[in-house]
Each structure stands twice: as C-alpha cells, then as structure tokens.
Amino acid sequence: MPTPETKDAPPSHGWLVLSYRVPSEPSRNRVSVWRELKRQGALFLQNCTCVFPDLPPCRKGLRTAIRKVDAAGGSHYMFPVDRLPAAQAARLVAAFRQLSTKEYEEIVEECRTKFVKEIEFERERRNFTYEEAEEIREDFEKIDRWYRRVVARDWFHAGLRDRVAEELAHCETLLDAFEAEVYARAGEDQDIHDAP
C-alpha cells in the first residue's frame, strides 16, 4: 500500500482523469459504473468525469471500472496529469480529504445509531440467542470491512482514522460482552434442561 501524503506536503504523484460515457439504457449499467468508481474512491469533477491520484491501487481500480464501461458498450478516455498548479492540487487534496471525512463520519453514525442501539435493544428484550449474537457479529464485521475500505483509499490522511478505530473498538467490546452473556445464559438454560 502506498504511503499517503503527509497533511501539509504537496502531492508527490500525478493524477488520473477519467471521462466516460455509458448508454443511457439500461440505466443499471450507468449506476454500476458509477458505484464501482465511487467504491474505488473517485472524486467526481462533473457528471462522468472523475479524478484519482496516480497511485498503483488507483490504476488497478480504474481498470476494473473501465472494463465495466466497455462491457456496457460505453467509451472512455483516461488522461494522466503529471503536474498541476499548487493551488489546484491543494483543492483536489482537500476534496479527497472531505470525501474520506464524510465516510468516516458515516461509519461513526452507523456505530452509534444502529450498532450500539441494536445491542441495547436486544438486551432490553432479553433476546440472548446464538442467532442474534451471530447476526450482530455479522453487522460488526460489515462495518469493519467498510472502515478498512475507507482507510485503503484515505490517501491524504483525512484525520479521523484513529477516532473511528476507537469507535469500532468500543463496538467490539460491547459485542464481546453481549456474546459472553449469550453463552452464559445458554449454559444456564442447558443446566435447567439437564436437571433431573
């Protein structure tokens, strides 16, 4: 994985600009290309034109998106840009940081408003089943995978990585405690059923 730029240093790499067209019908093809580019960390400059830092993982992700464009019967142009005026490069870096910040904030919101609330709700309902514990564990792993994807494309250090890691650690602590209670209660139920 490439080393992200430090907070104030100008980028030491160039940029990749992708401009593409996909037939308007079926619309699912356009949506599929757009989703793939967003998943890869694209910064859209306007409709169907986006930019990436010229880094190996970005080139790889662009190849995947371009295959989708081609498979949909579309066309594309990719322009490498070696250098930009310092002010323009700074604006791009700031925009990429803003994208990462927004995603980090969404992960924190997911943790607080859904994950933590789900555990509280199941405790209140006294729903201490293996199935519920497994479902909540899957939810946690989904959030954790999301976090890792955001970290992988946080090329310019948005600054929230550690805060989100702490939030996830808190969620995992709550989950571990819930699972421990599930297993303890399951053992109690087993003892009751086994009693003569």
Write out pLDDT tens, residues 108-119: 999 999 999 999
**Which residues of 22-149 form beta strands (DSSP E)?**
43-46, 49-53, 75-81
Place of tokens 């939030």: 167
27-40 and 56-71 helices cross at what angle (nearest 10)?
A: 180
Q: How many Cα atoms within 13 Å fall on the side-chain side of residue 15?
A: 23
Averaged confidence pLDDT in the chain:
89
What pLDDT sits at residue 10? 54
Which element (helix H / strand E) includes 186?
helix 161-194
DSSP assignment string, 87-140: HHHHHHHHHHHHHHHHHHHHHHHIIIIIIHHHHHHHHHHT---HHHHHHHHHHH
Write out pLDDT tens, residues 37-77: 999 999 999 999 999 999 999 999 999 999 999 999 999 99
- Rounded CA separation 157/1 (Å): 14
Contact 20, 48 (CB under 8 A): yes
Write out pLDDT tens, residues 153-182: 999 999 999 999 999 999 999 999 999 999
3-state secondary structure of 1: coil
